[in-house]
Amino acid sequence: MNNPISHQDIGAARVTRVEEMAGPAFRLTTLFPDWDDAVFEAHKDWLVPTYVNPVKMTAPLSMHSWIVQLDGLTVLIDTCVGNDKDRMPAEAWHHAQGPYLQRLADAGFAVADIDIVMCTHLHPDHVGWNTKLRDGRWVPTFPNAKYLFSRTEFEHLQANAQDMDRLCFADSVLPIVEHGAAEMTDGVHALSDGLLLEPAPGHTPGHVTLKLESGVQAAIFTGDMLHHPLQVYYPEWNSRFCLLAEQARASRRRVLDYCVDRGALLMPAHFGAPHCCHVDRAGEAYTLRWHHG
């Protein structure tokens, strides 16, 4: 059984993964408009059962946060789905009552310990625990944290949000701004020495990544630039959720090139166990080596 909490060291940094839930599982033909059954046959030996359910031909996804501790700073990256949120028609997310905060505590973190909450983008499964319900109001879950939002992302959602995105903006993003806890970022933004936020548009207009560099070791937290490990092998594949197709492909290749050239760990938001990997070049594409901590 997959452990919902894991730890590893990257240079002087301590990185912890806290899983909120496993799911949903999208049909591969739904997740990837360019899906080709021959790809499954070519990669079946490692895809089954963790990354593809061969009976239903679905891709199980993990919903987790990464927490980085470096030089006295504690940064929580992406806050998953959250509890008590109106998320229909996503039944598994709707008014959820999950153990995320308990798992965070089990991993060694009180909500007051988090210094920075950094959202790679503002989709519902990346901002949910920004807030919690208290006396009928949405209040910041992490009372001492500064919440970093890409200004481009915030303004795009503010102007264009519909359906579930509109709901998540109202209950998980706007309350942070109203409480004075938000900081809007533009372009490259250093959180500290060794932690660098960079724009990576495509999945959404204001999507960002976070680079961690400590000595000879490095990692990059990539949010939804990649939903599934097959995208390492097929970087031209966008998910159905990528809004800006060509920018998404360009950002994905740029991140994969960084992983190859720097030897950085690729640490996305939704990969199944072991959740992160090394990337090697293979002609015009790439291959992966799973990292087991």
- The owner of tokens 């264009």 is 160
Tell me the pLDDT band of 1, cut-offs 50, 70 and 90: very low
| Across 131-138, average pLDDT | 97
φ, ψ (nearest 5 deg) of residue 204: -135, 165
pLDDT (0 to 100) of residue 25? 87
146-150 and 116-118: which strand pairing?
parallel
- The owner of tokens 């999208």 is 26
**Model confidence pLDDT, tens digit, residues 153-212:** 999 999 999 999 999 999 999 999 999 999 999 999 999 999 999 999 999 999 999 999
Residues 111, 147: Cα–Cα separation, whole Å:
13
Distance from CA of residue 13 to its chain's centroid? Answer: 19
Residues 262, 127: Cα–Cα separation, whole Å:
29
Contacts of 88 (CB under 8 A, 6+ apart): 94, 164
**Model confidence pLDDT, tens digit, residues 48-69:** 999 999 999 999 999 999 999 9
Q: Is the dihedral of CA 4, 254, 33, 234 positive or negative?
A: negative
Residues 183, 149: Cα–Cα separation, whole Å:
6
HEC states along 166-229?
HHHHHHHHHHHHHCCCEEEECCCEEEECCEEEEECCCCCCCCEEEEEEECCEEEEECCCCCCCC
Average pLDDT value over all residues in the chain = 96
**Model confidence at 215: pLDDT above 70:** yes
- Number of CB atoms found within 10 A of residue 48's CB: 13
Provide the whole-model pTM: 0.97
Residues 202, 114: Cα–Cα separation, whole Å:
28
Q: Please, what's the b/e burial string for 233-266 (b: 16 or more CB within 10 A of its CB; e: otherwise)?
A: ebbebbbeebebeebbbebbeebbebbbebebbb
Tell me the domains of the chain and their CATH numbers.
Answer: 5-290 (3.60.15.10)
